[in-house]
């Protein structure tokens, strides 16, 4: 049996983050329970009751976090990291949030219930005494969760392998869109645009989202892996993204990353390549430099000069390699505590998912893509949640106690019943070759498809 820590705390809507982060469990039971609730128990209980929930694992971490909101309808708001309580944010791509007169579009899931699943440390279960204060909904949840532990595990049919739903025109359609975008760039209308496409697959039965999440965690230890259940639309969004958008550590360290340029991380015979062996073309170097330039322009707009720029270097993201540059700011040293909130509004959507200039790219995407991106190429992640992890690597010590960790929502899929829609885009410049860009989106779809195909 796995030993794991399950920590359940309840939060009230009007509590302030600092107070919440300091909140200590009131009692700890250090005895091993034979029927510890699992992440699946929490997840299924939330789904049965129609409560939105989010399950995630940070890059290079081991702990898995799950929160449940007892609000069935999630509020849409403009992210203000200084004001929000602990929770999970999920933004659509179409969210040019200026924090003033633009409509608030980011869904916010308050962490009414928060469980941490860890394979390290003693088995323990902590419950805040305020669980009763959230009223009937919390009690209902507790009762059903307790019941689920005494019931035998539900017998689920083994889901089939994903079968692609035919879309014979998909490749031509995508390549024509790329060719038109290249013409627009050659005419000087814009410098870069990211065009995306979808790929739909079906299963004989709806896959178990928690099992897929676990498998993604095991396969991609350096990715941010998540599964989000949206009760209102009955959608589950699952992703394993390599791209950090904004992180704000408890000690005031801000980080963002520019990511672009793609090539396979595997040799044709399937053996892994070493990052030092990666050869990047002029087109890819320029494509990634444009994302870095976009970030630097955001810093310039707020007259921030004291940032550390590291890169570009080659990073491995599952089956792929990218070029990555990391930007770090000590917000205490520059006396800019609200930098995370300000930069989030300036950065999204970055030119890793939209293009340059941003507005021209945004409108080309609108005209060219036939699907709605919804939450693909938006951002998501925990807000004001302590994610310390007993087995965090030294490299990640800075992020270990990070309070907010938002990622660009790529390498993702939307699950509706037994159909999954995968999303993938490719950054185009005037040197793009349509066939190659199509192949790149195919490789990006493989990040999730490979795992779905190999589910035990
Ligand atoms: C837009 C996606 O990836 C972005 C991130 C890294 C590399 C990219 C590229 O090489 O085009 C994209 O900008 C996606 O995976 O859907």
CATH number of the domain residue 234 falls in:
3.60.120.10
Please give the pLDDT value at position 136: 86
92 lies in some domain: no
Atom of ligand 1 nearest to the CA of 425: 16
99 lies in some domain: no
Domain match, 143 and 200 both: no
Domain match, 51 and 142 both: yes
Domain match, 119 and 171 both: no
Atom of ligand 1 nearest to the CA of 428: 11
Domain match, 128 and 170 both: no
The ipTM is 0.99
Please give the pLDDT value at position 146: 87
In the reported structure, the alpha carbon of residue 398 is separated from the centroid of ligand 1 by a whole-number distance in angstroms of 26
Domain match, 138 and 216 both: no
Domain match, 229 and 358 both: yes
91 lies in some domain: no
Please give the pLDDT value at position 132: 54
In the reported structure, the alpha carbon of residue 205 is separated from the centroid of ligand 1 by a whole-number distance in angstroms of 30
* 377, 118 contact by CB (below 8 A): no
94 lies in some domain: no
Domain match, 280 and 312 both: yes
Distance (Å) of CA 249 to CA 90, 107, 246: 19, 22, 10
Please give the pLDDT value at position 270: 87
Domain that residue 383 falls in: 163-453
Nearest residue (by CA) to ligand 1, atom 2, is: 425
Domain termination site, one of 90, 120, 150:
150
Domain match, 145 and 172 both: no
Distance CA 116, CA 1 (A): 17
* 431, 181 contact by CB (below 8 A): no
* Biggest CA-to-CA distance, the chain: 69
Domain match, 239 and 340 both: yes
156 lies in some domain: no
Ligand 1 pocket, CB under 6 A:
194, 196, 243, 259-262, 322, 352-353, 410-411, 424-427, 444
Nearest residue (by CA) to ligand 1, atom 8, is: 260
Please give the pLDDT value at position 157: 63
285 lies in some domain: yes
Domain match, 136 and 168 both: no
Length of the chain: 456
In the reported structure, the alpha carbon of residue 366 is separated from the centroid of ligand 1 by a whole-number distance in angstroms of 18
Of the residues 198, 443, 444, which should be mutated to test ligand 1's pocket, given the most ligand atoms within 8 Å of the CB? 444
* pLDDT means over runs of 10, the chain (456 residues): 35 34 29 63 94 96 92 93 94 81 87 84 42 75 85 67 95 98 98 98 93 96 97 97 96 96 93 92 95 96 97 95 97 97 96 95 97 98 80 44 87 97 97 97 97 90
98 lies in some domain: no
Please give the pLDDT value at position 100: 63
Domain match, 281 and 179 both: yes
> What's the pTM value of the predicted model, to 2 decimals?
0.89
48 lies in some domain: yes
Domain count, the chain: 2
In the reported structure, the alpha carbon of residue 401 is separated from the centroid of ligand 1 by a whole-number distance in angstroms of 28
Of the residues 174, 191, 193, 194, which should be mutated to test ligand 1's pocket, given the most ligand atoms within 8 Å of the CB? 194
Domain match, 116 and 257 both: no
């Amino acid at each position: 049996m796995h030993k794991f820590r399950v920590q359940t705390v309840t939060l009230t809507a009007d509590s302030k983050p600092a107070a919440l982060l300091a909140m200590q469990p009131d009692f700890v039971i250090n005895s091993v329970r034979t029927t510890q609730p699992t992440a699946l128990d929490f997840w299924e209980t939330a789904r049965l009751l129609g409560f939105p929930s989010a399950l995630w694992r940070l890059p290079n971490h081991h702990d898995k976090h799950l929160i449940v909101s007892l609000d069935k309808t999630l509020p849409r708001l403009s992210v203000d990291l200084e004001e929000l309580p602990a929770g999970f944010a999920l933004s659509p791509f179409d969210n040019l949030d200026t924090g003033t007169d633009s409509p608030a579009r980011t869904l916010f899931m308050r962490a009414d219930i928060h469980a941490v699943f860890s394979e390290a440390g003693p088995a323990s279960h902590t419950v805040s005494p305020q669980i009763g204060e959230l009223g009937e909904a919390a009690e209902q949840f507790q009762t059903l969760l307790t019941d689920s532990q005494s019931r035998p595990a539900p017998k689920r049919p083994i889901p089939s392998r994903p079968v692609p739903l035919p879309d014979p025109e998909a490749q031509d359609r995508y390549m024509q869109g790329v060719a038109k975008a290249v013409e627009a760039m050659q005419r000087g209308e814009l410098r870069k645009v990211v065009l995306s496409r979808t790929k739909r697959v079906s299963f004989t039965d709806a896959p178990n989202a928690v099992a897929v999440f676990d498998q993604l965690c095991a396969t991609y230890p350096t990715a941010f892996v998540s599964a989000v259940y949206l009760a209102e639309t009955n959608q589950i969004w699952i992703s394993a993204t390599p791209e950090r958008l904004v992180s704000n550590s408890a000690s005031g360290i801000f980080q963002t990353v520019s990511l672009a340029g793609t090539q396979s991380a595997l040799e044709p015979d399937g053996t892994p390549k070493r990052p030092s062996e990666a050869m990047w073309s002029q087109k890819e170097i320029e494509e990634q430099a444009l994302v870095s330039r976009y970030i630097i322009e955001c810093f310039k707009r707020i007259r921030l000069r004291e940032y550390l720029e590291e890169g570009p270097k080659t990073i491995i993201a599952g089956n792929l390699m990218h070029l990555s540059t990391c930007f770090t700011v000590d917000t205490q040293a520059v006396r800019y505590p609200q930098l995370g909130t300000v930069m989030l509004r300036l950065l999204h959507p970055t030119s890793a998912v939209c293009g340059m200039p941003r507005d021209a790219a945004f409108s080309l995407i609108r005209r060219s893509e036939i699907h709605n991106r919804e939450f693909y190429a938006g951002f998501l992640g925990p807000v004001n949640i302590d994610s310390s992890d007993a087995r965090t690597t030294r490299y990640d010590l800075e992020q270990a106690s990070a309070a907010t960790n938002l990622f660009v929502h790529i390498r993702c899929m939307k699950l509706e019943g037994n159909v999954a829609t995968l999303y993938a885009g490719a950054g185009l410049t005037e040197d793009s070759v349509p066939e190659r860009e199509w192949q790149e989106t195919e490789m990006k779809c493989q990040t999730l498809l490979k795992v779905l195909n190999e589910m035990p």
